[in-house]
């Protein structure tokens, strides 16, 4: 039924109306909604039309409104695979298969209403929200026909192009905007931007940036605001701040870091320690209602891709006035924590402060000093005593966190080096030494204290929450882990400590990386929330992100709340915006992580394309019906397809292994193999191995 165009929109009233319709669980008319909500009937009707057009409510032939579920529909996301086939994934985890002719014009990623049919199938009855209004791909010509070949193979194989192509040529990577959908007479799009040549590393990186909506630069208004903010005299802001410019504060970061969020200091205090965690006071420079604030909110996070950094804030702030560079005065928020001899916090102070970092230290140099006593220069030598005290405190903090059940997966991360042209020159596992763990321990401790402080005072910060694992996913993991002889706790007994002990069981086994990875996948995803729901993985009652406001919006928001609380200011506006800020930050973080994974895959494929025919030691890290995935020591993963194996293999799902019918040979997770790089698809980022 045709839904009239609404003449009114109001987000707060729409939520009240939507809740009223959800509560009634049957079709309802505008008059009934008005009576239940106290909203005038005419206004209620217009907002009901708006909700129906957005796909949040159904509009019946009788002029009534209902939730999709009340009409027998499921709200689903279309999930297509590169191997073909489509699944409709419901919000509650339900899953149905859908044939191509049952999709109703829906494409991968779209949100739809689905009508379940017999068995495990469903048909799409309405496309609610399109996920691919823009696409990226390679421009192709076939006679007079011009079309896009999308990079994402889960999208249609070809998309007809219309309108001006400007200077775009065959083989160019382009971005397009959809102007007509399949159900409107065939999918059609227009070129909006040229990204470079297909196969060129810069063009491929531009394509990834466009796909994930990431921007390299900043609008002129934002840059000008940043320059003005960075140039301001901090003198007037010193009043009321704790002056720590005489303390030995210093930063420890990677060799290539340019933005320094955090500095640390330490003193002995009786039989314990007094640790200072000093964080850049970004909230002093980025004020509500400014273009800088809107930009930080929209970006949500800095994004780090191989050879490319996309900062949340312009460099005038991120690398300049906010960065805790050595030998300059910097405004900070400090968490000063007093620890006893066992590494437990016995007292703390949170305050505005000013510091003057005395040194910019590098992880690798600190590791060398702590391990061998070799000082990279005079500043390291001067700070050796402080660094050794920090190492002692770090050990105690970590021991306490481990004792309560904090889970450390210890999975290797890729370090991808690039040359001036952006091409990958090396891929290796990133090393984490004592210095990395030390700073991590201090940041975690500060984050926990800030979260506890906020919860006890009901301050509207953004908590970092991590809920307990989904029982079904944990049961699936338990089946696999049990096949390895590991003792797996029942779902109701799966405390953080129990799962940590399971990893300890596996830590010296070749299957450990796979066990840790599969356990991690069975976990819920961490997110931001205005409610203090705790952090399962850290076994922490209270947790937030406070220590990286230069590169994470939630930290900036939390700083703003703390600063307001120090002044005794009104929290109403911050409290009212916390839910939306948490949702936005969570979404932007997920988007950044997906972009980083995609960029890593692209770079790894390009790197391995230069090693075709070479052999490597590898570990089986995943098994599927069509083969097994093997991971090299440098973290690169490739597929050994069953067609390359000298037998007919069947897949045993319970034990996650392939079994040769004739030979009885098994390939299972954790097994060591020797592989040869057979081929690399640098467009699809796929690496194929064969056994050597």
Q: Give the pairing type, strands 308-310 and 188-197.
A: unpaired
| 232: its two tokens | 């301001």
Assess whether pLDDT exceeds 90 at residue 489: no
Res 40: pLDDT: 92
Report the C-alpha gap between 22 and 28 in whole angstroms: 10
pLDDT one-digit tens code per residue, 364-375: 999 999 999 999
Q: Helix-strand-coil percent breakdown of the chain, rounded to 5? A: 35, 30, 35
320 band by pLDDT with thresholds 50, 70 and 90: very high
Mean pLDDT score, 220-244: 97
pLDDT one-digit tens code per residue, 283-303: 999 999 999 999 999 999 999
Mean pLDDT score, 174-185: 92
pLDDT one-digit tens code per residue, 429-457: 998 899 999 999 999 999 999 999 999 99
Cα R_g (the chain), whole angstroms: 28
State the SS3 of 596-613. Answer: HHHHHHHHHHHHHHHHCC
Assess whether pLDDT exceeds 80 at residue 72: yes
In the beta sheet, which residues pair with residue 193? 175
Quick count: other Cβ atoms within 10 Å of Cβ 247?
A: 21
pLDDT one-digit tens code per residue, 239-260: 999 999 999 999 999 999 999 9
| 7: its two tokens | 């003449």
In the beta sheet, which residues pair with residue 620? 630
Assess whether pLDDT exceeds 70 at residue 1: no
User: Which residue's entry shows tokens 């049952």?
Assistant: 102
Asked whether 89 and 95 are in contact (CB, 8 A), the reply is yes
3-class state of residue 146 by DSSP:
strand
Distance in angstroms between the alpha carbons of the first and the last residue of the chain: 62
Res 6: pLDDT: 79
Sequence-separated contacts (24+) of 484-490 with Cβ below 8 Å: 484/509, 484/511, 484/515, 484/670, 486/515
83 band by pLDDT with thresholds 50, 70 and 90: low
Mean pLDDT score, 628-637: 96
Report the C-alpha gap between 275 and 13 in whole angstroms: 48
What is the sign, positive or negative, of the torsion defined by CA atoms of 619, 623, 627, 631? Answer: negative
Q: Of the given ranges (500-509, 597-606, 631-640), which has the lowest mean pLDDT?
A: 500-509
Asked whether 141 and 170 are in contact (CB, 8 A), the reply is yes
Q: Give the pairing type, strands 172-180 and 308-310.
A: unpaired
| 301: its two tokens | 């996070």
Instruction: Read off the pTM.
Output: 0.88
pLDDT one-digit tens code per residue, 525-546: 999 999 999 999 999 999 999 9
Mean pLDDT score, 639-647: 96
Q: Which CATH number fits domain 134-198: 3.40.50.1100, 3.30.70.2200, 3.40.50.300, 2.40.50.640?
A: 2.40.50.640
Mean pLDDT score, 220-241: 97
Quick count: other Cβ atoms within 10 Å of Cβ 545?
A: 25
Res 431: pLDDT: 87
640 band by pLDDT with thresholds 50, 70 and 90: very high
Assess whether pLDDT exceeds 90 at residue 477: no
More confident residue, 589 or 199: 589
DSSP 8-state class, residue 552: B
Percent of the chain with pLDDT over 90: 78
Report the C-alpha gap between 322 and 281 in whole angstroms: 7
Domain with CATH 2.40.50.640 in the chain: 134-198
Which of 22, 21, 16, 43 is CA-nearest to residue 32?
21
More confident residue, 653 or 326: 326
Mean pLDDT score, 150-156: 88
CATH architecture of 612-691: Beta Barrel (2.40)
Which of 128, 134, 143 is CA-nearest to residue 174?
134
Average pLDDT of the chain?
Answer: 93
Report the C-alpha gap between 297 and 129 in whole angstroms: 23
Assess whether pLDDT exceeds 80 at residue 2: no
Q: Counting Cβ atoms within 10 Å, is residue 438 exposed (0-12), middle (13-18) or buried (19+)?
A: buried
Res 490: pLDDT: 78
Res 12: pLDDT: 83
CA 360 to chain centre: 28
Res 91: pLDDT: 76
Mean pLDDT score, 309-324: 97
Asked whether 617 and 632 are in contact (CB, 8 A), the reply is yes
Look at the chain and count its residues. 692
Q: Which CATH class is domain 11-70?
A: mainly alpha
Report the C-alpha gap between 25 and 541 in whole angstroms: 36
pLDDT one-digit tens code per residue, 198-217: 889 999 999 999 999 999 99
Asked whether 380 and 372 are in contact (CB, 8 A), the reply is no
Query: H or E stretch including 158?
Result: none
How does 484-493 read in b/e, with b if 16+ C-beta sit within 10 Å?
bebebeeeee
CA angle 209, 222, 254 (to 5 degrees): 60
Query: H or E stretch including 156?
Result: none
Residue 536 vs residues 130, 273, 404, 465: alpha-carbon distances, Å: 34, 28, 11, 8
More confident residue, 242 or 513: 242
Q: What fold, for 73-129?
A: OB fold (Dihydrolipoamide Acetyltransferase, E2P) (2.40.50)
Res 324: pLDDT: 98
């Amino acid at each position: 039924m045709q839904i009239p165009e609404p003449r009114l929109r109001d987000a707060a009233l729409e939520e009240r109306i939507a809740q009223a319709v959800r509560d009634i669980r049957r079709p309802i008319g505008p008059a009934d909604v008005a009576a239940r909500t106290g909203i005038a009937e005419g206004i209620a009707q217009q907002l009901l039309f708006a909700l129906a057009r957005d796909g949040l409510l159904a509009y019946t032939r009788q002029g009534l409104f209902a939730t999709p579920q009340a009409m027998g529909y499921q709200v689903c996301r279309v999930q297509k695979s590169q191997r073909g086939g489509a699944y409709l994934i419901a919000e509650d985890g339900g899953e149905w298969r859908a044939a191509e002719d049952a999709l109703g014009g829906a494409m991968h990623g779209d949100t739809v209403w689905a009508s379940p049919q017999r068995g495990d199938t469903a048909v799409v009855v309405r496309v609610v929200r399109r996920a691919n209004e823009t696409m990226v791909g390679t421009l192709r010509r076939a006679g007079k026909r011009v079309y896009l070949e999308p990079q994402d193979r889960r999208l249609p194989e070809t998309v007809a192009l219309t309108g001006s192509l400007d200077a775009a040529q065959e083989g160019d990577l382009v971005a397009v905007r959809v102007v007509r959908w399949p159900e409107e007479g065939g999918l059609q799009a227009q070129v909006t931007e040229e990204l470079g040549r297909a196969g060129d590393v810069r063009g491929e990186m531009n394509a990834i940036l466009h796909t994930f909506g990431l921007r390299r630069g900043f609008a002129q208004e934002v840059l000008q605001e940043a320059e003005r903010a960075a140039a301001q005299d901090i003198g007037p802001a010193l009043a009321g701040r704790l002056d720590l410019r005489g303390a030995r504060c210093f930063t420890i970061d990677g060799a290539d870091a340019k933005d320094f969020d955090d500095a640390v200091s330490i003193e002995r205090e009786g039989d314990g320690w007094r640790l200072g965690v000093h964080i850049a006071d970004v909230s002093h420079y980025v004020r509500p209602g400014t273009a800088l604030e809107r930009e930080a909110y929209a970006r949500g996070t800095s994004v780090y891709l191989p050879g490319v950094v996309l900062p949340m804030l312009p460099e005038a702030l991120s690398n300049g006035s906010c960065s805790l560079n050595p030998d300059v005065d910097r405004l900070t928020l400090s968490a000063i924590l007093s620890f006893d001899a066992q590494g437990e916090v016995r007292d703390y102070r949170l305050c505005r402060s000013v510091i003057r970092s005395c040194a910019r230290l590098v992880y690798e140099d600190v590791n060398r000093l702590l391990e061998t006593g070799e000082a990279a220069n005079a500043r390291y030598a001067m700070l050796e005593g402080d660094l050794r005290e920090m190492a002692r405190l770090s050990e105690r903090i970590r021991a306490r966190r481990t004792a309560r059940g904090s889970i450390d997966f210890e999975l290797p991360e890729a370090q991808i080096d690039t040359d001036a042209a952006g091409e990958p020159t090396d891929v290796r596992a990133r090393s984490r030494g004592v210095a990395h763990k030390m700073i991590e321990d201090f940041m975690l401790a500060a984050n926990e204290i800030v979260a506890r402080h906020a919860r006890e005072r009901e301050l509207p910060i953004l908590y970092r929450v991590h809920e307990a694992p989904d029982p079904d996913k944990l049961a699936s993991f338990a089946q696999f882990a049990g096949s390895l002889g590991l003792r797996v706790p029942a779902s109701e007994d799966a405390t953080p400590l129990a799962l940590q002990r399971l990893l300890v069981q596996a830590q010296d086994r070749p299957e450990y990386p796979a066990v840790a990875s599969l356990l991690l996948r069975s976990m819920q995803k961490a997110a931001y929330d205005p409610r203090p729901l705790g952090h399962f993985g850290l076994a922490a009652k209270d947790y937030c992100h406070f220590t990286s406001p230069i590169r994470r919006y939630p930290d900036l928001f939390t700083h703003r709340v703390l600063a307001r609380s120090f002044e005794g200011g009104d929290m109403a506006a911050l409290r009212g915006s916390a839910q939306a800020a948490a949702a936005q930050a969570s979404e932007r973080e997920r988007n950044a992580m997906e972009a980083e994974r995609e960029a890593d895959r692209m770079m790894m494929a390009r790197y391995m394309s230069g090693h075709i025919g070479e052999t490597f030691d590898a570990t089986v890290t995943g098994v599927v019906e069509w083969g097994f995935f093997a991971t090299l020591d440098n973290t690169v993963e490739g597929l050994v397809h069953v067609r390359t194996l000298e037998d007919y293999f069947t897949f045993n799902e319970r034990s996650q292994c392939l079994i040769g019918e004739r030979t009885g040979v098994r390939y299972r997770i954790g097994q060591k193999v020797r592989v040869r790089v057979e081929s690399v698809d640098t467009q699809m980022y796929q690496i194929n191995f064969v056994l050597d």
